[in-house]
Amino acid sequence: MGNWRNVTNTFSEERRHYSNTYLEICEVYDEAVEVSVFSAVANPYEIYVSYGIMYGIIYCDKEEAYEKFEEINQVLQKDYEENKEPSDEFMRMFIDTYGLCLPNDVLFDEASLFGLF
């Protein structure tokens, strides 16, 4: 059984500011699962999740961010301890339950993408 480790202080103050957000807390579980909370002044808070091939952002209100953060940590820890990788079924459930989506600023190499067609 692993444990959650707060790695927030491994980021410099400069790196904690990202795309009009601020990294409030970043925790990793067994070096395999990451959950972070980003605050924003005029936008919803963002909870970043990375677990195996599943990653993305959950947008939420400031008031619910930390409660949701703790809940997500528990859900991901349980699945990781049982399976080590998220199954298709788990990912569908998680996406439907928490509204996990790709970040708006994900960059794709358009030349490579169009070369596929």
Tens of pLDDT, residue by residue over 61-79, are: 999 999 999 999 999 999 9
**Whether the predicted pLDDT of 88 surpasses 70:** yes
Query: Phi and psi dihedrals of 70, rounded to 5?
Result: -65, -40
Using DSSP, state whether 56 is helix, strand or coil.
strand
pLDDT tens digits, residue range 6-65? 999 999 999 999 889 999 999 999 999 999 999 999 899 999 999 999 999 999 999 999
Query: What is the pLDDT, as a whole number, of residue 45?
Result: 97
- List Cα–Cα distances, 44 to 17, 22, 34, 59, 112, in angstroms: 15, 12, 20, 6, 33
What's the pLDDT band for 117 if we cut at 50, 70, 90? Answer: very low
Mean pLDDT, residues 84-109 taken together: 86
